[in-house]
Chains A and B, each alone.
Chain A
Amino acid sequence: MASLRDIKKRIDSTSKMKKITKAMEMVSASKMNKAEQNAKSFVPYSEKMQEVVASIAKHTDATHPMLQSREVKKVGYIAITADSGLAGAYNANILRKLNNTIQENHTSTDEYTVIAIGRMAVDFCKKRGLPVARSITGLPDQPSFANVKDLASETVQMFTDEEIDKLVIIYNHYVSAISQVVTTNQLLPIEAVDTTTGTSSQYEYEPSEEQILEVLLPQYAESLIYGALLDAKASEHAARMTAMRSASDNASDLIDGLTLSFNRARQAAITQEITEIIGGASALE
C-alpha cells in the first residue's frame, strides 16, 4: 500500500490538474459562444450568395467551368483541423476520414493533393508522405474572412487552372455543443445549387450572365470554404470543451478514490499505533 505521503502528493497534483482542465473548459466555452455567433453572422452573406447563384442558374443557360464536371484526374482535399490537440477525437476523426477516403479512391499520390488547414493536418500529411499543395497554420480562434482569403482564392484558382478537377472539403460540422459530425462535401464543380431558393424575379445582368458567373462563382466557392472553417472552429471549441469537461470529471473521480484510500491508510496507521501502545502497556503489567 502506498504511503500516506505518496497518496497526499497524488491528490495534490491531481487537483492542480483539475484546476487547469476546468479553466480550459471555461475558456473553450466562451470561445465556442463567440465562434457560434461568427458562424451565425456569416449566414446572411451565404444565403444571399446562394440565392443569386441559384437564380442565375435557374433563369439562364449560361455555363461556366465551375458548374460542369470534367474528367477527374486529380482531386484536391481540404482538411480542416485544429492547431493543437486536447480536443478529444476532433482531429483524429478528420484525419481518419481523410486517410480512408484517399485509400478508397486513389492508388497513387499523383491522383490527389491535400490542402491542409491547421497544424495537425500539416503534420499528419508530412508524417504519412501525402502531397500537400497549400497549407495554413496559426489561424486565430475567431478567424475573419481576410485570414483565409488567400488560401481560399489560391485553392479555387487551382481548380480554374485545371490543376485539380474536383475539390472536396472534410471538416467537423457543428451540430450542438456535445455533438459534431465529420462532414465531406464536394465544393467544386458546384453540383447541386438549390434552385428552389432563387427568387422568381428576372434580373438584368450587367454586363452579361457569363461575366457575372465569372466573378460570382469563385467568390461563392471561397465563401463556402470560409463557411466550413467557421463551422469547424465552433466544433473545435465545442470538442475541446467536452474533452476538458470529461478530463475534469475524471480528475474528480480520481481524487475521490485517492481520498478514500488516504483515509483508509490514515485509519490503518492510527489503528496500528493504538495496537502498539496497548501491546506496550500490557507488556508492562
Chain B
Amino acid sequence: MTSLGGVTLKTLTVSVVTPDGPVLEDTYEMVSLKAENGELGILPGHIPLVAPLAISAVRLKRDSGEEKLAINGGFLEVRPEKVTILAQSAEKPQDIDVNRAEAAKKRAEDRLQSKDDHIDRLRAELALRRATNRLDVAQTR
C-alpha cells in the first residue's frame, strides 16, 4: 500500500519469472497486458485468473511512472494481490539487444518474402513478431 495525498492506494505485487530466473518482483498499481484474446487491465482485487499471453509488451504502472517488459510465450496467473507472469523470455528495455532484434527482424522478413516453399511460415511470422515487439519496447527506454 502506498499513500498519496492522504488517500491510500492499493497495490499489487507483480513477479515475472522465466526459465533463466526471476526477472522482476515489485509492487505496482496496475498491470496492463495483452492476452491471446484481447487486452487486459489488472487492478488490485482482481478475481483469480489464468490466461495465455500474446507476444507483446507488458505495461506496469505506478505513481512513479510506467515500466515496460517485452514478453514472449507465456501466461499469467492473477490472484487478488499478486500477479505472476510466467514467460519463456521477458526483457526490460535496457536489456534488449537492439542490433540482434533488428537482424532477426530482417531475417524473418526475408524469409516471409522468399517464394521458397520449404520455409516454415508460421515460425518466421512468430520470429518477426518477437523481433518487432522487442524493438517497440526498446524504443521506450
Q: Which positions in A face B, CB cutoff 8 Å?
A: 38, 41-42, 44-46, 48-49, 52, 56, 144-146, 149, 201-207, 211-212, 215-216, 219, 222-223, 226-227
Contact = CB atoms under 8 A, between A and B. Distances in A.
Given A48-B86, A145-B88, A206-B37, A42 B19 contact: yes
Contact size class for B? 20 to 34
B13 interface: no
Given A203-B49, A206-B49, A48 B88 contact: no
A12 B121 CA distance: 61
Given A45-B86, A48-B77, A219-B73, A206 B17 contact: no
Interface of B: 17-22, 35-37, 40, 47-52, 73-75, 77, 79, 84, 86, 88-89
B77 A226 contact: no
Contacts, number: 78
Nearest to B37: A207
Contact of A203 (B21, B37, B50, B74): B50
Contacts of A207: 36-37, 51
Given A145-B19, A207-B37, A215 B52 contact: yes
Contacts of B79: 201
Given A48-B84, A145-B88, A56 B50 contact: yes
A146 B88 CA distance: 8
A45 B73 contact: no
Given A149-B88, A201-B48, 13 more contacts: A45-B86, A49-B86, A145-B88, A145-B89, A201-B79, A204-B47, A206-B35, A206-B40, A212-B75, A219-B73, A219-B74, A219-B88, A223-B19
8 contacts: A38-B20, A38-B21, A52-B50, A52-B75, A205-B49, A206-B51, A212-B51, A212-B52
Contacts of A146: 89
B70 to A, nearest CB: 14
Given A44-B17, A52-B77, A211 B48 contact: no
A42 B21 contact: yes
Nearest to A222: B88
A44 B22 contact: yes
Contacts of B47: 204
Contact of B50 (A42, A206, A223): A206
